[in-house]
Structure 1
Amino acid sequence: MAYRLTVLMFLLFVADPAAADDRHEWLDPAWWSEGQLPVPPNHKVTSTTETLITDEADIPIFIARPETEGEFPGVLFVHGRRGVDPLIEGHVQRLAARGFVVYAPDLYVGRFVEAMPIEHDYALEADLNDVLDHVLATGTHSGDRVCVYSHTRGGYKSLKLAVTLDRQSDALACYVSYYPHMQDPNAPEPMQVYRYAGEADRLTLPALIFVGEHEQYQRKRGIDMAVGSMQGRGLPVQLVTYPGVGRGFDFREPPVRTFADDLATRDALMRATAFMNRQLRAGH
């Protein structure tokens, strides 16, 4: 346990993972050699909610952005089975505090879907596409592309948005996801355990995926297989696995939240911030 905690402590203080030694990507040379701790961006956050009305649904969009004047890049946050509840709004606000305008549509409310559904409604992907068009046309972020950022089942919807609806060609700059469901939720059990969604092999966006070592077996297996295949095809994907951490580390609250959850969450936010800023600045 002490070893795992030490690893997580190092992970937390990575200022720029791209600059780390390839053999020890968690090690920040400036911290280790010079004692310099990174200072991440910190902004006070303001939030509001607007509603996108389409022919099919009325979709509320929770929007969080820095109070600071100036331009900030955009992020499309895609929720999982919880929908957008107060715990998820907290994650959205923590991300906005890093210097992003974050758009978090509640796709379930738009379709009168109860939270925590078992089956997946494929209409949600079309709704997400409508939200993306709306964000690009009316959003207050800088640039003409956004990064798509998700967790759990939102990872599958984001994958379909990027690949099946081909928004990786004209609207998205990168793909970030926490323990994504890398399979069609309606697929039969053997497909859930032994296969992954074929769309992953066609995702050309730079991708950053986070997962806990103790993630549910059938979920982690799919993530590991998908990332292994993507890397084998030369696709730009990176997987970060946090030791001693399980599912939901990005939003679990006390008393079930652990110190390891908090370290992993902070590190993931720092890594995602650096990653998305690089991709959005690159003009993808």
Structure 2
Amino acid sequence: MGVTVARATNPAPTWKAVLMSEIRTEAVPLVDGSDLRLTVAEPDGPARGGIVVLHEARGVTDTVRRLVEGIAGDGWLVVAPHLYHRDGADELDGDRAEVDDHVARLDGEQVMADTDTAFGWLAEHEVSADRMGVVGFDLGGSVAMLVAARRTLGAAVTVAGGGISEPLGPLPTLVSAAPELTCPWLGIYGDRDDADELDGLLTAARESEVATDLVTYPGRGHRFDDDPGTAEDAWQRMLNWFDSHLR
């Protein structure tokens, strides 16, 4: 069975427009002397579980903050670590060269330590590991799969994650990590120049013998969320994945 092709035909508000819960930023001191900033949102009632949101290559943008709010509005306790905190950056507004430079300076072990801190924050708020999920977008989508291959948690979602067969900055390729997945994983992608690359990613993920799925949207580019119907379909698939596996 190959990649699922999704066709969203009923336009709805994009997931970028979902605003439901207030957010705040906390700072957690790390052993290396730096402070990890966490963008946090809580649900109105008891939390169903916890979700770590990993940001795109430009950092914790307004889009990321809205996603944090929207996921919390669905009943989850949400935390987004600022992975560029050692550079003193939250959001990058420069050109692509500046963004690529920040990605290249990331250290894989430090990124894992930062995500561990975010999961630890959830644990301190009484969320058990089987009720923790991770979702990432763009750069964060790649990190989300790597986290799901190295840590034990309940579910993971990768949205438009790069570095599938060629390394993204210092990070290992996704096809090399996919067979080691420890939890159910969902991939969500727009059109790619090499469709066979996604088939290869799904094949590698299925070697892990955990639940896996990969959805693509034909006729949509890498950032497919500018189309309301496609964005709403992807949003619901992400929420349904967490709802099905974080129990």
Question: TM (normalized to structure 2)?
Answer: 0.77
* Alignment pair present for 1:48 and 2:9: no
CA distance in 2, matches of 1:173, 1:241: 23
Where do 1:113-124 residues align within 5 Å?
115=92, 116=99, 117-119=102-104, 120-122=106-108, 123-124=110-111
Change (3 A) 1:52 1:233: closer
Tell me the equivalent position of 2:148: 162
Tell me the equivalent position of 1:150: 136
Q: Look up the SS of the partner of 2:42 in the other structure.
A: strand
CA distance in 1, matches of 2:196, 2:41: 33
Tell me the equivalent position of 2:46: 70
Change (3 A) 1:144 1:161: same
Q: Look up the SS of the partner of 1:150 in the other structure.
A: strand
Give the drift of 1:228: 2.4
CA distance in 2, matches of 1:227, 1:51: 37
* Alignment pair present for 1:204 and 2:182: yes
Runs of 4+ in 1 over 6 A off after TM superposition: none
Where do 1:23-34 residues align within 5 Å?
none
CA distance in 1, matches of 2:20, 2:128: 18
Query: Can you list the C-alpha shifts for 1:204-232, whole angstroms capped at 9, x where unaligned?
Result: 3111111112x4x26x6543321123236
Out of 184, 191, 212, the position equivalent to 1:237 is 212
Out of 50, 53, 56, the position equivalent to 1:80 is 56
TM-align CA RMSD: 3.0
Change (3 A) 1:249 1:92: farther
Tell me the equivalent position of 2:231: 265
For the 8 Å contact 1:74–1:101, the answer to whether it is kept is yes
Q: Mean Cα displacement is larger for which, 76-85 or 229-238? A: 229-238
Give the drift of 1:106: 0.8
Tell me the equivalent position of 1:36: none
CA distance in 1, matches of 2:130, 2:185: 19
Tell me the equivalent position of 2:168: 185
Change (3 A) 1:221 1:101: farther
Q: Look up the SS of the partner of 1:107 in the other structure.
A: coil
Query: Can you list the C-alpha shifts for 1:2-28, whole angstroms capped at 9, x where unaligned?
Result: xxxx9311698xxxxxxxxxxxxxxxx
For the 8 Å contact 1:179–1:223, the answer to whether it is kept is no
Out of 47, 58, 66, the position equivalent to 2:35 is 58
CA distance in 2, matches of 1:228, 1:52: 38
CA distance in 2, matches of 1:126, 1:184: 20
Segments of structure 1 that go 5 or more residues without pairing to the other structure are 1-5, 13-41, 251-256
CA distance in 2, matches of 1:229, 1:60: 34
Give the drift of 1:178: 0.5
For the 8 Å contact 2:46–2:75, the answer to whether it is kept is no
Give the drift of 1:134: 2.6
Give the drift of 1:187: 6.7
- Larger relative CO (CA 8 A, sep 6+): 1 or 2? 2
Out of 68, 85, 89, the position equivalent to 1:109 is 85
Q: Look up the SS of the partner of 1:90 in the other structure.
A: helix
**Letter matched to residue 237 of structure 1:** T
For the 8 Å contact 1:43–1:98, the answer to whether it is kept is no
Q: Identity rate of aligned residues, in percent?
A: 24
Segments of structure 2 that go 5 or more residues without pairing to the other structure are 1-5, 13-17, 93-98
Out of 58, 71, 74, the position equivalent to 1:98 is 74
CA distance in 2, matches of 1:82, 1:43: 21
Give the drift of 1:140: 6.3
CA distance in 1, matches of 2:143, 2:180: 14
CA distance in 2, matches of 1:266, 1:86: 18
